[in-house]
Amino acid sequence: MKLNVDERWDLIDKISKEVVSYGKYEHTLKDALGELSVKPLAGIPIAITVLYGFWSVFSSFAGTLWTDGFMVKIFDEHFLPWMQAHFPGEGGWLYYIVVGDPAADNCFEAFGVLTSGLFVAIGVVLGAILIFYLMLTLLEDVGYMPRLAVLIDTILHKIGLHGYAIVPTILSLGCNVPAITATRILETRKQRFIMMTLLAIFIPCGAQLGIMEEVIPDTMGVVVLYLIIGYFIFGFVLNKIIPGKSPEILIDVPPYQMPTKRNVGRKMWMRTSGFLKVAVPFVLLGCMIVNVLYLTGVMDQLANALGPLLMGWFGVPKETVGPLIAAFLRKDLAVAQLSAIEMTDYQMITSVVLVSIYFPCVATFAMMLKEGWKELLGSLVVLAVVVFLYGGLVHLIGILAGVA
């Protein structure tokens, strides 16, 4: 049987009359709360509260309980002395690489592969990553993330992105590697390039945040503020100079719902195991390479060669060259190394900002390469300019404020 257009519409009417029931939809409390969280007047206080809760739980668990509560004791009071006493060949190069400084009384200063390396990976980073991913998963599964995307859409349009760019940005606060993959949710090459570059430069990963919380608890806020300001300034500039489109988004905002244990458990396992597979080998490798560079005298030569630039332009001691090299392997490791260098508070702030905005860690680098070598090359050019300009600017601000 063949129907003409009118007959088809009649048939549709008939079917819809039989299967669709009409009535007045009453808003539920969940609907009303959902609406409030996307309206700027109520949504911004909610977003501030969520970030407050996120950070408070993160620092209490990762800092107070995991690292300071148990891991410092395990590593500094038991594991380090045991390694120093039992590892053969004290004073030899192998001892130096594996155990580190025989006179060190804590794992931050020892800098051996199996002392500082394991302490950073397990004693600091694991706790930070576990709680970070738990909180992030809960926010996703409750349904808050799409609302945050809607809320922040207008602001992110100023830097050529849209609301959903908040997903890779927040993911990046855990680890840059999955965040680079997540940039694929952005529609155009321009957006993906801006996002990838900003992530690689301005977003510190969870591991780095955990170490910063441990090493510079009092001045960490200033470092984060510098990074946030840089994120928006350079995002704005990139949006102006890079050709291409930044389209609008149309997203489906799901209702608020209770997260299920199974989903949370699966996501946590997937993310944490993925992170550990990537992070732990690089932390250990980083310790090893830096120690070898010290042993062979390469580090001293580099420090002398780059000293004038580091001290004159950035205002940091020339010894920071070691952490800057380590930062290519792991930024958390680099911040841990910085803690062993004598410097003023503001030099420490500048150094941590430099480590953050300097070259992305090698895992991120590999991920960016996978997304396209042209994008990677472009990001590296931007990065070089940003390090030079922004690093100098941070120093200048310090001079003007009388603290540098």
Partner 1 sequence: MAKSYGIGSIYFGILGVVTLAFGIADLIVTIGGDSFTWSILEIPGDMFRGGWGGLIILFAGLFYLSGIKNLSEIHQLSKVVLGSILIWIIAGTDIFTMITESIPGGEEGGWFNTLEDFFGTYAPPYAPAIFLLPFSLVVIYYVYKRK
Contacting residue, 15, 56, 105, 260, with partner 1 by CB under 8 A: 56
Query: Considering only residues 15, 48, 305, 403, which one is a binding residue for partner 1 as defined by CB under 8 A?
Result: 48
Give me the 140-179 binding string for partner 1, x by CB under 8 A, dash otherwise: ----------------------------------------
**Residue 204: which of 116, 117, 331 has the closest Cα?**
331
Helix, strand, coil abundance in the chain, percent, nearest 5: 80, 0, 20
Residue 258 interacting with partner 1 (CB under 8 A): no
Residue 366 CA to residue 371 CA, distance in Å, equals 9
Among 51-59, 79-87, 314-322, 344-352, which window interacts with partner 1 (CB under 8 A)?
Answer: 51-59
Position among 40, 53, 89, 312 found at the interface with partner 1 (CB under 8 A) = 53
E strand segments, 168-217 = none
259 sits in the region (left: phi over 0; alpha: psi -120 to 50; else beta) called beta
CB nearer to partner 1: pick between 61 and 96: 61
Among 3, 9, 49, 89, binds partner 1 (CB under 8 A): 49
Q: Give dist(CA 162, CA 156) in Å, integer.
A: 5
Number of neighbouring beta carbons within 10 Å of residue 205: 31
| Closer residue to partner 1 (CB): 30 or 277 | 30
Question: Distance between CA atoms of 377 and 369, rounded to whole angstroms?
Answer: 9
Does residue number 401 form part of the binding site for partner 1 (CB under 8 A)?
no
For the record, the structure tokens of 204 come out as: 């510190």
User: 68, 293 in Cβ contact below 8 A?
Assistant: no
Least distance (Å) between residue 54 CB and partner 1: 9
Q: Is 111 helix (H, G, I), strand (E, B) or coil?
A: strand
> Which range of residues in 61-69, 93-101, 111-119, 324-332 is near partner 1 by CB under 8 A?
61-69
Only one of the segments 1-9, 20-28, 112-120, 250-258 lies at the binding site for partner 1 (rule: CB under 8 A); that segment is 20-28
Q: Which stretch binds partner 1 (CB under 8 A): 46-54, 105-113, 284-292, 373-381?
A: 46-54
DSSP string of 125-171? Answer: IIHHHHHHHHHHHHHHHHTHHHHHHHHHHHHHHTTT--GGGHHHHHH
Q: Which residues contact 316 (CB under 8 A, 6 or more apart)?
A: 310, 343, 347, 350, 351, 354
Q: Which stretch binds partner 1 (CB under 8 A): 25-33, 108-116, 188-196, 349-357?
A: 25-33
Q: Which residues, at least 6 apart from 400, have a Cβ–Cβ distance to it below 8 Å?
A: none
Phi first, then psi, for residue 26 (nearest 5°) are -95, 130
Between 9 and 52, CB nearer to partner 1: 52
Question: Cβ 42 to partner 1, closest distance in Å?
Answer: 7
> Is residue 82 at the binding interface for partner 1, with CB under 8 A as the rule?
no
Contact flag: residue 61 with partner 1 (CB under 8 A): yes
Contact between 269 and partner 1 (CB under 8 A)?
no
277 contacts partner 1 (rule: CB under 8 A): no
User: Is residue 52 a contact point for partner 1 (CB under 8 A)?
Assistant: yes
Nearer to partner 1, 64 or 296 (CB): 64
Q: Which residue in this structure is represented by tokens 């990963």?
A: 205
Binding partner 1 (rule: CB under 8 A), the pick from 7, 10, 13, 68 is 68
Any contact of residue 69 with partner 1 (CB under 8 A)? yes
Structure tokens at 361: 């860690």
Alpha helices in 26-110 (DSSP H): 29-36, 40-58, 72, 80-86, 93-98, 107-110
Task: Scan residues 192-221 and list those touching partner 1 (CB under 8 A).
Answer: 221
Q: Is 65 in the site for partner 1 (CB under 8 A)?
A: yes
- Please report whether residue 343 would count as binding partner 1 according to CB under 8 A: no
CB of 328 closer than 8 Å to CB of 142? no
- The rounded Cα 137 to chain-centroid distance in angstroms is 16
**Number of residues this chain uses to bind partner 1 (CB under 8 A):** 29
Q: Which is nearer to partner 1, 107 or 383 (CB)?
A: 107
Q: What is the largest CA-CA distance in the chain?
A: 93
Residue 144 CB contacts under 8 Å (≥ 6 apart), including other chains: 37, 50, 256
List residues near partner 1 by CB under 8 A: 26-29, 31-33, 35-36, 42, 45-46, 48-50, 52-53, 55-57, 60-61, 64-65, 68-70, 73, 221
